[in-house]
Structure 1
Amino acid sequence: MTAPAQTPSPGFVAAVLMPAVFVFLWSTGFIGAKLGLPYAEPMTFLALRFALVVAILAPLALLMRAPWPDRAADVGHIAIVGVLLHGVYLGGVFAAISLGVEAGTAALIVALQPILTAILAGPVLGERVSLRQWIGFFLGLAGVFLVVYRKLDQGLGTPEGMALAVMALFGITIGTLYQKRFCTQMDLRTGNAIQFAAAAVALGVIAFAIETREITWSGEFVFALGWLVLVMSIGAITLLMILIRQGAASKVSSLFFLVPASTALIAWPLFGETFGPAAIAGMVLVTVGVAMVNLGGQRPARRAAG
């Protein structure tokens, strides 16, 4: 007699579905940018988005009685991380897409973040980088160069836009290292509120300096703004925290190398973005390179002097 099929436990389903949902949600950040940017300039769009996030997070942190930093220096460190992670990173991505860089290409460029972080962690955090990770680094660089060269040759994007995407890459990389160095004790609830507030001020200043700050309140813009505020800035970040707290911290970074392919798959039917054979080869190189860095068994960091 055949044994009845066992129903998967809720824990097993969550362990399988949550990482997949996270990759999808993170990918939609690039899609939301492209959907909303025709109706608002990039810094104006982001400053409004961040202000709305703070308007939600700050009261929630107060209601939950989350601890706020005691020292002004800690607030300063958290604010710097916010400017780097949200201001420079997202500001660069949104500005790049506004200059014609495709969402999938922007996602691919910033997908080098785990590689660049691992390489810079050597001199910054005293961590040793293995030969396998160096190989992954050069594979990733070669893949991005192949995609960028091909897209520019096709007139998809501008050199300025690609440079802004690279700036975004360095923003998230330096911000990640800075947070690891100075903000390890940060409460995620109050810390995120401070980070988004700092980024909102920084990009708001830029918007007043160089943009018209005009917004066309179309249905697409309202949907993109709502999605980026609620689903991305709050939902995806919360899901990331849940994954880490469930003991998946060592695996979460490996999820990010799935984002470019996921973004490209979503952007294809929505915006008609396609990747030819050369660009696909570049994406494969980047994916392999990031996987080698993330899964390469980086050695523990040496304790810093002082």
Structure 2
Amino acid sequence: MKNVKYYMLLIIIMIIWGLNVPVLKILVDSLSPVTMTAFRILIAGLTVFIILSYLKLVRLPTKKEWMFILFASLFNVVLHHFFLTIGLKGTNSTNAGLILGSGPILTALIATFLIGRKISVWKWIGFVLGCIGVSLTILIGSKGVSGVSLGNILVFLSILTQAFSFVLISKAARTIDPRLLTGYMLVIGSSILIIIGFILEPNGLSTFVKAPTEVWLYFLSSAILATAVGHMTYNFIIGKIGPAEASVFLNLPPFITLIGSAMMLGETITSLHIVGLFFIVTGVLLGSGALEEIRKR
């Protein structure tokens, strides 16, 4: 019962993350995608540093930590958010939410090959089930099964680059607070994205001026709640209850995204979406090793 408060916080975070996908779809359709993403992440990074300053956790990284921070920023922020932003322009938030739900499986799979972690039969089954679910989702177009959608592929590349970055982050987090690491990554990654945005979208800032109040509210809530507070809180809770217990809750966002996409955007949920969701959720539970770890404990 001592972890109930952390479980409640995790549920709230998962709801926010699940709803953040249709919110991002609204933002990329209303604003210049790359420019919007760059400033959204910059605001998130500055918010993290304000909170960390209050907690007196801010310090300069060492030379070795800087190396991990730079590479993690490239994969976790720049490539991940660039592919996700462009991908959302070419697919719906329902598909994107399901594909993003495969993150824990990909992370475990990459860690297996790069770090040399042992893998059980149940994990392999989880990987296969997860791949089936992602493949089904990638094949679903906005109007049903219409061949492979480029938007879906880009969203998959976004979660693949993020999964790879988690291996780098796990090494860096041995010596630096994950919350501080998150702040540096967000600020550095957003700075690079701002440069990319100015090159690809010279008039990107003009779309902010014309944006209605509703879009601005979505923009700020995504930056502050979902990105800054959400990631900081999740990293903090991992340190309290362990990654295995926390990763089980990552099965919630795809469900929330399905509901949010239908209610906020009027998207159609097909039977293949439900089948894909089933395979992905089952794959995450088995492939991430969460159920095995909990059973052992």
Deviations 1:169-188 (A, max 9, x none): 21111110111133422223
Q: Which residue of structure 1 lines up, in the alignment, with residue 123 of structure 2?
A: 133
Q: Which residue of structure 1 lines up, in the alignment, with residue 292 of structure 2?
A: 297
Q: Match for 1:226 among 217, 220, 230?
A: 220
Q: Match for 1:277 among 271, 276, 279?
A: 271
CA distance in 1, matches of 2:33, 2:97: 16
- Change in Cα spacing, 1:63 to 1:16, as seen in structure 2 (3 Å) is closer
CA distance in 2, matches of 1:61, 1:16: 23
Q: Which residue of structure 2 lines up, in the alignment, with residue 164 of structure 1?
A: 154
Q: Which residue of structure 1 lines up, in the alignment, with residue 110 of structure 2?
A: 120
Deviations 1:101-141 (A, max 9, x none): 11121121122221122122122112011111111111111
> In the TM superposition, what is the alpha-carbon distance from 1:296 to its structure 2 partner?
4.9
Q: Which moved more, 1:18-27 or 1:80-89?
A: 80-89
- TM (normalized to structure 2)? 0.88
Contact 2:92 2:142 in 1 (8 A): no
Q: Match for 2:89 among 74, 98, 109?
A: 98
Matches within 5 A, 1:1-306: 14-99=5-90, 101-151=91-141, 154=144, 159-211=149-201, 212-213=203-204, 214-215=206-207, 216-294=210-288, 295-297=290-292
**RMSD over equivalenced CA pairs, Å:** 2.4
SS in 1 for 2:139: helix
> In the TM superposition, what is the alpha-carbon distance from 1:76 to its structure 2 partner?
2.8
Pair member with larger Rg: 1
> In the TM superposition, what is the alpha-carbon distance from 1:155 to its structure 2 partner?
7.5
- TM (normalized to structure 1)? 0.85
CA distance in 1, matches of 2:5, 2:52: 26
SS in 1 for 2:141: helix
CA distance in 1, matches of 2:246, 2:186: 22
CA distance in 2, matches of 1:222, 1:42: 14
Give the unaligned 5+ runs of structure 2.
Answer: none
- Change in Cα spacing, 1:182 to 1:48, as seen in structure 2 (3 Å) is same
- Change in Cα spacing, 1:112 to 1:131, as seen in structure 2 (3 Å) is same
Contact 2:140 2:147 in 1 (8 A): no
> In the TM superposition, what is the alpha-carbon distance from 1:220 to its structure 2 partner?
2.2
Query: Post-superposition, which runs of at least 4 consecutive aligned residues in structure 1 deviate over 6 A?
Result: 155-158
- Change in Cα spacing, 1:16 to 1:69, as seen in structure 2 (3 Å) is closer
Q: Which residue of structure 2 lines up, in the alignment, with residue 4 of structure 1?
A: none
Q: Which amino acid letter does the alignment assign opposite residue 102 of structure 2?
A: L
> In the TM superposition, what is the alpha-carbon distance from 1:91 to its structure 2 partner?
2.3
SS in 2 for 1:65: coil
User: Size of the alignment, in residue pairs?
Assistant: 288
Contact 1:78 1:183 in 2 (8 A): no
CA distance in 2, matches of 1:150, 1:167: 16
SS in 1 for 2:174: coil
CA distance in 2, matches of 1:96, 1:33: 11
Contact 1:50 1:197 in 2 (8 A): yes
Deviations 1:183-223 (A, max 9, x none): 42222343222111111122112111212313232112201
Contact 2:45 2:228 in 1 (8 A): no
CA distance in 2, matches of 1:123, 1:13: 35
Contact 2:93 2:261 in 1 (8 A): yes
- Change in Cα spacing, 1:224 to 1:140, as seen in structure 2 (3 Å) is same
> In the TM superposition, what is the alpha-carbon distance from 1:17 to its structure 2 partner?
2.5
Contact 1:132 1:296 in 2 (8 A): no
